[in-house]
């Protein structure tokens, strides 16, 4: 290796270490892990512990959160820095998660047996985890906005994985004061499907299963990119409308959203692909109708599961060509045994399945024998 290459390598390592060791133990040197798509968290490895930094737990977050996971046998008191938001022992045997998007990651990592509590267990659809709920291994914790802290403190998990839309959550503050670590998961803030899926590595760090998490994500990424390449073979790009009205406002994905990315990667023409920003677009019916009245397809019309429901909600929907041609597709009707929508549970972890669904809808000739996982045609 030439002297020039050695110097470049040393500079790169130094940069990673300096970035990773901010607010860390005095004199420590951390090696940052590599993430391909996710921007909301990072991981740094040290001699006796590792640190997860969550930089975007919710949109416009003003603070970065740092969580320490100790190596086995290392004592927390040895850490000289007091700015960590949580310190977690090496072996996570009991965990509470608060979003259905976390469930598939536990199962993919074969760590579902560690789940001991969840707010709103009826929303969970997975057969594996439902069996744990039925056996009494997973306690009901009420609602995410107002977790039953009495039950949670009785469970006394090793860690609680939460999510939030802002920094104030009284339940989480109560849990932390009781000495139970609370860490934020911000997968929902990511701007691309693969970035959201890469948060399996967040759980891989918690369970000391980094290699397994990497392998699972690499397989999902490979499947996704292969499907994206397949979509390029389509000879026609259908125009796509999305969303529906709530009262007098039509909400639909902005062009920079993961939902719009799915449509783009399926080689279809989302009519609002040129928009951007945070959150959904909020438009009048007139604006939407003027642009999308002749759209070929209508995807994800809110929570409606039939054409009759759409018509009953507003007769205006029947004016769209996609409605007339019954070219309306939704994931809302694909539910688990207790009513949970499968897309909201599995879709984040398996964007490859979502993309294949949308390709099947947009270009059925490319996936003739494929059975969709989430999206169904409204009847």
Alpha helices (H) in the chain, listed in sequence order:
3-20, 102-108, 127-134, 149-155, 170-177, 193-197, 200-206, 210-231, 258-265, 285-292, 307-313, 321-324, 342-346, 351-362
The conformational region for residue 250 under phi > 0 = left, psi -120 to 50 = alpha, else beta, is beta
User: Does residue 168 carry a pLDDT above 80?
Assistant: no
Q: Mean pLDDT across the stretch 7-23?
A: 40
Reported residue count of the chain is: 379
pLDDT tens-digit profile of 139-161? 999 987 779 999 999 999 999 99
> Can you tell me the distance from the alpha carbon of 121 to that of 130, in angstroms, rounded to the nearest whole number?
8
Give me the chain's average pLDDT, please. 89
SS3 per residue for 105-117: HHHHCCCHHHEEE
Say if CB 246 and CB 280 are below 8 A apart: no
Residue 198: which residues within 8 A CB-CB, separation 6 or more?
A: 35, 36, 37, 38, 190, 217
pLDDT tens-digit profile of 34-91? 899 999 999 999 988 999 999 999 988 888 999 999 988 777 666 655 578 999 987 8
pLDDT tens-digit profile of 78-116? 665 557 899 998 789 999 999 999 999 999 999 999 999
Q: Which is nearest to 220 in space by CA: 322, 372, 346?
A: 346
> Could you give the domains of the chain?
11-219 (3.40.50.1980), 233-377 (3.40.50.1980)
Please report which confidence band the pLDDT of residue 165 belongs to, taking 50, 70 and 90 as the band edges.
confident
> Can you tell me the distance from the alpha carbon of 128 to that of 333, in angstroms, rounded to the nearest whole number?
21
pLDDT tens-digit profile of 262-320? 999 999 999 999 998 778 999 999 999 999 999 999 999 999 999 999 999 999 999 99
Determine the pLDDT at residue 77: 66
> Can you tell me the distance from the alpha carbon of 222 to that of 116, in angstroms, rounded to the nearest whole number?
33
pTM: 0.89
Specify the 3-state DSSP secondary structure of 242. Answer: strand
Please report which confidence band the pLDDT of residue 3 belongs to, taking 50, 70 and 90 as the band edges.
very low
């Amino acid at each position: 290796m030439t002297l020039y290459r050695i110097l470049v390598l040393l500079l790169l390592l130094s940069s990673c270490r300096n970035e990773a060791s901010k607010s860390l133990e005095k004199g420590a040197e951390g090696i940052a892990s590599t993430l391909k798509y996710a921007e909301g968290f990072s991981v740094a490895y040290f001699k006796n512990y590792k640190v997860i930094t969550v930089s975007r737990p919710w949109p416009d977050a003003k603070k970065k959160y740092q969580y320490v996971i100790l190596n086995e046998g290392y004592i927390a008191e040895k850490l000289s820095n007091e700015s960590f938001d949580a310190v977690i022992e090496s072996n996570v045997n009991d965990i509470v998660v608060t979003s259905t998007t976390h469930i598939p990651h536990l199962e993919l990592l074969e760590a579902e047996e560690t789940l001991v509590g969840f707010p709103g267990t009826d929303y969970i659809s997975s057969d594996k985890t439902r069996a744990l709920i039925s056996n009494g291994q997973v306690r009901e914790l009420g609602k995410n906005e107002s977790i039953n802290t009495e039950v949670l403190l009785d469970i006394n998990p090793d860690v609680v994985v939460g999510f939030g839309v802002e920094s104030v959550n009284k339940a989480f503050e109560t849990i932390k004061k009781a000495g139970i670590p609370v860490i934020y998961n911000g997968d929902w803030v990511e701007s691309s499907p693969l970035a959201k899926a890469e948060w399996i590595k967040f759980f891989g760090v918690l369970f000391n299963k980094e290699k397994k998490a990497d392998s699972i994500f690499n397989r999902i990424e490979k499947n996704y990119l292969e499907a994206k390449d397949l979509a390029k073979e389509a000879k026609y790009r259908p125009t796509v409308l999305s969303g529906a009205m709530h009262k007098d406002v039509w909400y639909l994905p902005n062009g920079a959203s993961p939902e719009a990315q799915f449509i783009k990667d399926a080689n279809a023409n989302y009519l609002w692909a040129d928009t951007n920003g945070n959150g959904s677009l909020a438009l009048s019916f007139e604006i939407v109708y003027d642009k999308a009245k002749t759209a070929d397809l209508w995807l994800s019309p809110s929570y409606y599961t039939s054409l009759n429901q759409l018509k009953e909600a507003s007769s205006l929907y029947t004016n769209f060509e996609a409605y007339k041609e019954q070219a309306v597709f939704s994931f809302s009707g694909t539910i688990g045994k207790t009513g949970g929508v499968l897309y909201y549970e599995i879709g984040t972890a398996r964007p490859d399945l979502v993309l294949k669904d949308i390709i099947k809808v947009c270009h059925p000739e490319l996936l003739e024998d494929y059975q969709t996982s989430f999206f169904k045609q409204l009847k």
